């Protein structure tokens, strides 16, 4: 599906067949991917989220790597394990009808919150990571056969090289450095990861007693990755700037709670190296959206992304001079790029 009217008509028919009369349908948020999310309001005051798979972006995955699995059964598996995820209300083909968790993402909740509230919410979010990592494959669940492998690191390298750098020398340095990182991650423990565990994908769900609990959305990409991966997504988020002392406090506390309890040096080394690959990919995707879709709004996330890249690159190069050439390339990235023209 690609036509907005056709998507809404399909969602309306499906909801009215199963749940009742639809009062109105509203788009939800902005997304880099090709999925469409709609908030459907029913005549009786209830609401739900329709998640529509609109087809795959050719830049969205590496050649030869299969597409993401459907939302089920990973959603059902996490729900049965007691993890906070939206309930499924129905679905058909490319449309999933899900519980409406509300409008308050973690990003929204901490925007103007006092420091103690922000710290508490991020502590709650961090506590979900070891719970995920303790889960074991119940048998043939696709998430446990997928992993952050060399092909995905190559994909991240190609995006970063192609969209973030103009010269072939820098592009070659990126490819070589990301290949080195892939080699370092090959021997790391492999644990279940959400894969996009960032503030926009954690929603504050309100319980009947008025309390709130963070719940996870965008679950279908779950895979096996080093134990630091989801923490990188959360604490090196381009959408929320967390003070560095708070990042350090969260990392210091949660490291010992992880099932593998990595030693401090390995933990911090992998955390910074994974930051380079994650944020490099994000930097490229923001520029890609601007160049190919004319979506300059996402460029506002480039400056914090560059800051994250520069800090991680400096630390990685200080530990291992092999990463100094990459750190040099990253040091030259513009902090506030102009809207780029297509290449």
Domain limits, the chain: 1-100, 114-343
Specify the CATH class of 1-100 in words: alpha beta
Cα pseudo-dihedral 312, 315, 320, 323, rounded to 10? 40
What pLDDT was estimated at residue 67?
Answer: 81
H helical segments located in the chain: 4-18, 74-80, 106-110, 115-133, 150-164, 168-186, 229-235, 244-254, 264-293, 302-319, 324-331
pLDDT of residue 1: 43
**Sole residue written with tokens 């669940």:** 141
The hierarchical CATH code for the domain 114-343 is: 3.90.1200.10
pLDDT tens digits, residue range 214-246?
A: 999 999 999 999 999 999 999 999 999 999 999
Instruction: Rank 15-29, 52-66, 173-187 by mean pLDDT and report only the highest.
Output: 173-187
C-alpha of 324 from chain center: 27
Q: Please state, rounded to an integer, the average pLDDT across all residues of the chain.
A: 92
Tell whether the model's pLDDT for residue 253 goes beyond 60: yes
The string of DSSP letters for 89-130 reads EEEETTEEEEE---S-BHHHHHSS--HHHHHHHHHHHHHHHH
**Can you tell me the mean pLDDT for 201-214?**
89
Please identify which residue in the block is written with the tokens 């030259």.
332
pLDDT class of 287 with cuts at 50, 70, 90 = very high
- Domains 1-100 and 114-343 in one fold: no
């Amino acid at each position: 599906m690609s036509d907005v009217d056709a998507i809404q008509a399909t969602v309306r028919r499906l909801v009215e067949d199963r749940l009742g009369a639809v009062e109105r349908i509203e788009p939800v948020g902005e997304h880099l991917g090709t999925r469409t999310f709609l908030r459907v309001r029913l005549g009786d005051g209830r609401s739900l989220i329709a998640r529509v798979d609109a087809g795959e972006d050719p830049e969205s995955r590496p050649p030869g790597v299969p597409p993401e699995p459907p939302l089920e059964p990973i959603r059902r598996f996490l729900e049965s394990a007691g993890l906070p995820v939206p309930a499924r209300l129905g679905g058909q083909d490319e449309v999933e009808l899900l519980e409406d968790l509300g409008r308050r993402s973690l990003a929204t909740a901490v925007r103007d919150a006092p420091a103690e509230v922000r710290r508490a919410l991020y502590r709650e979010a961090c506590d979900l990571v070891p719970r995920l990592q303790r889960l074991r494959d119940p048998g043939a669940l696709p998430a446990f056969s997928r992993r952050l492998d060399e092909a995905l690191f190559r994909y991240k390298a190609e995006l970063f090289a192609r969209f973030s750098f103009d010269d072939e020398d820098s592009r070659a340095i990126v490819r070589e450095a990301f290949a080195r990182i892939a080699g370092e991650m090959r021997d790391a423990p492999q644990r279940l990861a959400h894969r996009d565990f960032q503030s926009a994908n954690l929603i504050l769900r309100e319980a009947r007693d008025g309390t709130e609990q963070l719940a996870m959305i965008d679950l279908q990409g779950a895979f096996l990755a080093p134990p630091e991966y989801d923490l990188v997504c959360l604490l090196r988020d381009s959408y929320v700037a967390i003070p560095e002392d708070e990042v350090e406090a969260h990392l210091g506390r949660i490291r010992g709670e992880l099932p593998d309890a990595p030693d401090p040096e390995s933990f911090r080394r992998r955390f910074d190296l994974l930051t380079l690959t994650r944020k490099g990919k994000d930097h490229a995707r923001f520029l890609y959206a601007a160049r190919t879709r004319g979506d300059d709004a996402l460029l506002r996330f480039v400056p914090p992304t560059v800051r994250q890249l520069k800090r991680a690159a400096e630390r990685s190069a200080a530990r291992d001079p092999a990463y100094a050439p990459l750190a040099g390339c990253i040091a030259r990235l513009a902090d506030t790029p102009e809207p780029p023209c297509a290449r």
